[in-house]
C-alpha cells in the first residue's frame, strides 16, 4: 500500500534531499519503519537511544497527529499523506483578548484618516481600531520574523509595541530583516527597529529591552503586555516564552522557519495547546540546524512574520478564527500550504492537568535544551582554536580535517585539504579515518561538528577527535581573512 511521506527540510539531509517519498505500509509505525529501512541515516534523527521516536518530532496522518488517533497503530491507506513535523517552529463572535470592557480612547481625526481602511472593515471598525490603540504587544526577537511583525503591527496602530533583542545589526541580516538598513550595521537591533517604527507610525509607543529574556526577567516583562509574538530563533527562548505565557495566561503567537519552510500557530493554554504540548522536548544540540547554519530564503520570514501579525491583530480586535489548535505549515519552494490540528496534552508539564512547572526560576532552561556543558558522566567534546589548528598544520603535523558542512556551503568556500563526510554518513564511513591520526571536524559555527564527534564516539570510534571551536567563521576571522564568513 503506497503512502506519500512528506519530509521536512530539516530531515532531508538524511534522505538525499528527497522531499516526498512513496513508501509501503498499513500503519503509521510501518511507514516510519519503512523510512528508516530505506534511509538508515534517518534513525539517529528519528529515534533516541531507547528506540523511541524523539519528542521533538510529531507524526501526522493527513491533518491529524497520531497522538490523537491510534498512535503508532493509526491505519494508513492509498492516497494518505504522512508528514513529519519537527520543532524548528472560533467564530465571528470571538472576544478580544483585551476583554469587552476595554473601550479604548477616542480616535483623532488624524488617526481616522490613517486607519481608514481598517475602519471600513465591519470586522474591525472603530471598536476594533480603538482596541488596537489600547493594546500592548511584545515582540521577542528582531530578526527575520520580528522585522515584519514590528512593521505591520506599527502600521496597524497597535498602541504599545515592546521590542526585546540583545543583538546588533550585521550585514548578513539585511537579506531578510527588512526593518534594518545598511546604515544600521553595528547598532542594537532594538534601536534600529524603534527608529523604523517611528518612521512608519509616530503615534505608536515603543518600549525597548536591549538584553536577553531570561527566567529571572521574563514574567516581569511579559506581564505588562496583552499578547506575545515569539519571533525568537532558539529553543531555550521558545520554551521560556511558552512557559511564561502559560503561567500568566497570555496568548503566544508563534512563528518558526528554516530554509524554505515556515510554521505559524497560536499557543494559548486557556483555550488550546501550548508549545510543550506539541514539542515535549527539544532536539539534541546540532541535530536540527538553525537558519544561521542552513540558511533561509529572504522572503520567507516576511510571509511567516506577517501571518503572525495577522494573528495578533485578530486576537486584539476579536472575531475571526485564530490559529489556536491549528498549525499552518508553508513550503515556499513547492508553494504548498498545509493546516494541521494540534491538541492539548493532559500530561503537559506546564499546562496539563497536573503541572510541575509552576515557577520559571525553578526550571533550568539551558540544561533542558542541552546548552550546558556535558554532564560529569559524559566525556566532554574537546575543541581546538582556529589559531592552534593553523599552528599545528604549519609545523607539519599530520591531522585529518573532516568537513561536515552541506554541499552548497562548501560551494561558498572550500576548506583546504578537508575530507568531506556528511554527518549522516559518518558512522558507516568511519573506516576512512585513521585512529592513529588526530581528526578535526569543521562546520560553520562549531555546533554540527560537536554532533559529529558525539556520533562517531557512540559508533565506537576510538581515535582522538576535536571540534573546530566556532567553526569556519573563527578560521575566517582569526586565521585566513580571505575565507568568507557567511
Architecture of domain 2-86: Roll (3.10)
What is the model's pTM? 0.70
Q: Pairing relation of β-strands 252-258 and 261-267?
A: antiparallel
How many helical (H) and strand (E) elements, i.e. helices and strands, does the chain have? 17, 18
What topology is assigned to 383-478 in CATH?
Oxidized Rhodanese; domain 1 (3.40.250)
Burial of 377 (0-12, 13-18, 19+ CB in 10 A): exposed
In this prediction, residue 41 carries a pLDDT of: 81
Phi, psi of 431 (to 5 degrees): -70, -10
Tens-place pLDDT, residues 75-128 = 988 888 998 887 763 233 578 888 876 667 889 999 999 999 999 998 999 999
**Residue 348 annotated as catalytic:** no
Q: Are 72 and 29 in contact (CB under 8 A)?
A: yes
Q: Are 9 and 258 in contact (CB under 8 A)?
A: yes
All three cell numbers of 69, joined, read: 488517533
All three cell numbers of 484, joined, read: 568568507
Q: What is the DSSP string of 308-374?
A: HHHHHHHHHH--S---BTEEEEEETTTTEEEEEE----TT-TTTSSS-----GGGS-HHHHTT-SPP
Architecture of domain 109-368: 3-Layer(aba) Sandwich (3.40)
Q: Are 486 and 458 in contact (CB under 8 A)?
A: no
DSSP-based helix, strand, coil % in the chain, nearest 5 = 35, 20, 45
In this prediction, residue 375 carries a pLDDT of: 45
**Residue 277 annotated as catalytic:** no
Q: Are 7 and 42 in contact (CB under 8 A)?
A: no
Catalytic residue among 245, 291, 351, 369, which? 291
In this prediction, residue 89 carries a pLDDT of: 38
How far lies 290's CA from each of 57, 77, 89, 206, in Å? 16, 35, 11, 29
Distance CA 203, CA 205 (A): 7
Per-residue pLDDT of the chain (486 residues; tens, 9 = 90+): 688 988 887 778 788 888 889 988 899 888 888 888 888 888 877 887 777 878 778 899 988 889 889 888 899 888 889 988 877 632 335 788 888 766 678 899 999 999 999 999 989 999 999 999 999 999 999 999 999 999 999 999 999 999 999 999 998 889 899 999 999 999 999 999 999 999 999 999 999 999 999 999 999 999 999 999 999 988 889 999 999 999 999 999 999 998 899 999 999 999 999 999 998 887 766 665 555 556 788 899 999 999 999 999 999 999 889 999 999 999 999 999 999 999 999 999 999 999 999 888 767 777 766 655 444 445 789 999 999 999 999 999 999 999 999 887 888 999 999 999 988 899 999 999 999 999 999 999 898 899 899 999 988 999 999 999 999 999 999 999 999 988
Tens-place pLDDT, residues 285-319 = 666 555 555 678 889 999 999 999 999 999 999 98
Catalytic residue among 274, 348, 351, 443, which? 443
In this prediction, residue 90 carries a pLDDT of: 29
Domain boundaries, the chain: 2-86, 109-368, 383-478
Q: Are 412 and 484 in contact (CB under 8 A)?
A: yes
Count CA atoms closer than 13 A to 263's CA, side-chain side: 25
In this prediction, residue 288 carries a pLDDT of: 58
Residue written as grid cell 531578510: 176
All three cell numbers of 40, joined, read: 538508515
Amino acid at each position: 500500500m503506497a503512502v506519500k511521506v512528506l519530509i521536512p527540510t530539516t530531515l532531508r539531509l538524511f534522505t538525499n534531499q528527497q522531499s516526498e517519498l512513496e513508501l509501503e505500509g498499513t500503519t503509521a509505525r510501518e511507514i516510519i519503519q519503512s523510512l528508516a529501512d530505506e534511509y538508515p541515516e534517518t534513525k539517529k534523527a528519528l529515534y533516541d537511544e531507547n528506540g523511541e521516536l524523539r519528542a521533538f518530532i510529531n507524526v501526522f496522518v493527513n491533518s491529524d497527529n497520531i497522538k490523537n488517533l491510534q498512535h503508532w497503530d493509526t491505519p494508513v491507506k492509498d492516497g494518505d499523506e504522512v508528514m513529519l513535523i519537527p520543532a524548528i517552529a472560533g467564530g465571528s463572535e470571538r472576544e478580544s483578548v483585551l476583554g469587552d470592557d476595554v473601550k479604548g480612547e477616542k480616535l483623532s481625526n488624524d488617526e481616522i484618516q490613517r486607519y481608514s481602511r481598517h475602519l471600513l472593515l465591519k470586522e474591525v471598525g472603530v471598536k476594533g481600531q480603538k482596541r488596537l490603540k489600547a493594546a500592548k504587544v511584545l515582540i521577542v526577537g528582531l530578526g527575520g520574523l520580528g522585522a515584519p511583525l514590528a512593521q505591520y503591527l506599527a502600521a496597524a496602530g497597535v498602541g504599545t509595541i515592546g521590542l526585546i533583542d540583545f543583538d546588533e545589526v550585521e550585514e548578513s541580516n539585511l537579506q531578510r530583516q527588512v526593518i534594518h538598513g545598511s546604515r544600521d550595521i553595528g547598532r542594537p537591533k532594538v534601536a534600529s527597529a524603534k527608529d523604523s517604527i517611528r518612521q512608519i507610525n509616530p503615534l505608536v509607543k515603543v518600549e525597548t529591552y536591549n538584553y536577553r529574556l531570561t527566567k529571572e526577567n521574563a514574567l516581569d516583562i511579559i506581564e505588562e503586555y496583552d499578547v506575545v509574538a515569539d519571533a525568537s530563533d532558539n529553543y531555550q527562548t521558545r520554551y521560556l516564552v511558552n512557559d511564561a505565557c502559560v503561567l500568566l495566561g497570555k496568548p503566544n503567537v508563534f512563528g518558526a522557519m528554516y530554509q524554505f519552510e515556515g510554521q505559524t500557530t497560536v499557543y494559548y493554554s486557556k483555550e488550546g495547546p501550548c508549545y510543550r504540548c506539541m514539542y515535549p522536548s527539544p532536539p539534541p544540540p546540532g541535530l536540527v540546524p538553525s537558519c544561521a547554519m542552513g540558511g533561509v530564503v529572504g522572503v520567507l520570514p516576511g510571509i511567516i512574520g506577517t501571518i503572525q501579525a495577522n494573528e495578533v491583530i485578530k486576537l486584539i480586535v476579536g472575531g475571526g478564527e485564530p490559529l489556536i489548535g491549528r498549525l499552518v505549515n508553508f513550503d515556499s519552494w513547492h508553494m504548498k500550504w498545509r493546516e494541521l490540528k494540534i491538541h492539548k496534552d493532559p500530561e503537559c508539564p506546564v499546562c496539563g492537568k497536573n503541572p510541575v512547572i509552576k515557577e520559571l526560576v525553578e526550571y533550568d532552561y539551558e540544561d533542558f535544551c542541552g546548552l550546558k556543558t556535558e554532564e560529569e558522566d559524559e566525556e566532554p567534546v574537546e575543541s581546538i582554536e582556529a589559531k592552534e589548528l593553523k599552528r599545528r598544520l604549519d609545523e607539519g603535523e599530520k591531522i585529518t580535517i573532516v568537513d561536515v558542512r552541506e554541499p552548497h556551503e562548501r560551494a561558498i568556500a572550500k576548506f583546504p585539504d578537508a575530507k568531506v563526510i556528511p554527518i549522516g554518513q559518518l558512522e558507516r564511513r568511519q573506516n576512512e579515518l585513521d585512529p592513529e591520526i588526530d581528526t578535526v571536524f569543521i562546520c560553520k559555527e562549531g555546533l554540527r561538528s560537536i554532533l559529529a564527534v558525539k556520533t562517531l564516539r557512540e559508533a565506537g570510534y576510538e581515535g582522538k577527535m576535536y571540534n573546530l571551536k566556532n567553526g569556519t567563521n573563527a578560521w575566517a576571522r582569526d586565521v585566513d581573512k580571505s575565507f568568507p564568513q557567511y
